[in-house]
Homo-oligomer: A and B are copies of this chain.
Amino acid sequence: MADIPSPTLPERKRGSGVRLVYEVLRDEILDLTLQPGSPVDEVALAERFAMSRTPIREALVKLEGEGLVATLPNRSSVVSNIDFLNLNAFFDALTLMYRVTTRLAAEFHSAEDMAQILRRQAVFAEAVDAGDELAMIARNRDFHLTIAEAGRNPYYVQLFGRLLDEGRRILRLYYYPNFQRRQPHPFVLEHEAIIAAVAARDVTLCDRLAKDHADQIVRLIQDMIARDLRQDLPL
């Protein structure tokens, strides 16, 4: 019944198909709209996006390269599971990236970088005001990635991006029910302190603030997981 190419559907330009599928799937995976472990059917996606399987497959290859989907030979791909066994490895890398990227930002940022950072912080604060947890998580990621980009080290930016993405999945898993609408939100204050330290090019202070901020987030996640696991205890 889908044989007739409906002219009302958004006409995609040649070459944009893969990127579109990639971005949509990526967002849905990170938002847990696509749950970890759930199979990814190529034909279903092809129907949904009204395109052939070829661009779908290429998007899946990209996602596989980023570790967001896992593929078994001759079998369906699945959305990657969140690895709770290696969680301390995740925390370790996340903390290190928080520190080095903030340090480098203090050293190498330009005036335009600072403007962009302030803009991202404003958007983050808006999400906090609105109490929109999904937006908070995503905008927090944008904020810190912008700082990382000001540090001018693409290797760190890439790893940090992946780590923040993984954190987005974990936070999405727990954060919603526990949200505290405190004003001003502690994260907003910490962000402001970091911005000031970067602007002042104080590397040592940046390192300390970044470490504290990371520890804060790590503790938050650990608490949430502990609270959640406690509910599963048998009586």
Contact = CB atoms under 8 A, between A and B. Distances in A.
Chain copies in the assembled complex: 2
B90 A96 contact: no
A114 B233 CA distance: 38
A89 interface: yes
Interface in A53-72: 54, 57-58, 61-62, 64-66
Interface of A: 14-15, 54, 57-58, 61-62, 64-66, 73-74, 86, 89-90, 92-93, 96, 100, 104, 152-156, 158-159, 162-163
Given A15-B74, A65-B65, A73-B15, A152 B86 contact: yes
Contact of A90 (B62, B155, B163): B155
B152 A89 contact: yes
Given A15-B74, A54-B54, A65-B65, A159 B155 contact: yes
A159 B154 CA distance: 11
B153 A89 contact: yes
